Amino acid sequence: MINKLIAKIQSTNAPIVAGLDPMMKFVPGHIQKKAFDEFGETLEGAAEAIWQYNKGIVDAICDLVPAVKPQVAMYEQFGIPGMIAFQKTVDYCKEKDLVVIGDVKRGDIGSTSEAYAVGHLGRVTVGSRSYSGFGEDFATVNPYLGSDGITPFIKVCKEEKKGIFVLVKTSNPSSGEFQDQMIDGRHLYELVGEKVSQWGAECMPDEGSYSYVGAVVGATYPEQGRVLRRIMPRTFILVPGYGAQGGKGADLVHFFNEDGLGAIINSSRGIIAAWQQEKYARYGEAGYAEAARMAVLDMREDIAQALQARS
DSSP state at residue 256: S
- Residue 145 exposure: Cα atoms within 13 Å on the Cβ side: 16
Q: In whole angstroms, how close is the CB of 36 to a copy of itself at the nearest point?
A: 6
Per-residue string for binding with a copy of itself, 28-67, x by CB under 8 A? Answer: ----x---x----xxx-xx---------------------
CA of 181: how far to CAs of 184, 186, 216, in Å?
10, 8, 18
Q: In whole angstroms, how close is the CB of 143 to a copy of itself at the nearest point?
A: 7
Q: In whole angstroms, how close is the CB of 106 to a copy of itself at the nearest point?
A: 7
Q: In whole angstroms, how close is the CB of 203 to a copy of itself at the nearest point?
A: 18
The single-letter code of the amino acid at 25 is K
From CA 271, how far away is CA 273, in angstroms rounded? 6
Smaller CB separation from a copy of itself, 23 or 250? 23
From CA 56, how far away is CA 69, in angstroms rounded? 15
CA of 177: how far to CAs of 49, 174, 183, 190, in Å?
37, 6, 13, 14
Per-residue string for binding with a copy of itself, 100-139, x by CB under 8 A? Answer: -----xxxxxxxxx-xx-xxx---xxxxxx-xxxx-----
Q: Is 209 helix (H, G, I), strand (E, B) or coil?
A: coil
Category of 122 on φ-ψ map: left (φ > 0), alpha (ψ -120 to 50) or beta: beta
Q: In whole angstroms, how close is the CB of 54 to a copy of itself at the nearest point?
A: 15
Regarding 235 and contact with a copy of itself (CB under 8 A), the answer is no
- Residue 116 exposure: Cα atoms within 13 Å on the Cβ side: 23
Which one among 145, 304, 306, 307 touches a copy of itself, defined by CB under 8 A? 145
Regarding 18 and contact with a copy of itself (CB under 8 A), the answer is no
105 is catalytic: yes
List 105, 155, 161, 248, catalytic entry: 105
Per-residue string for binding with a copy of itself, 171-200, x by CB under 8 A? Answer: xxxxxxxxx-xxxx---x--xx--x-----
Stretch that binds a copy of itself, among 78-86, 227-235, 254-262, 279-287 (CB under 8 A): 78-86
Smaller CB separation from a copy of itself, 9 or 141? 141
CA of 15: how far to CAs of 270, 302, 307, in Å?
15, 11, 11
Cβ atoms of residues 61 and 292 within 8 Å: yes
Where in the sequence numbering do the catalytic residues fall? 105
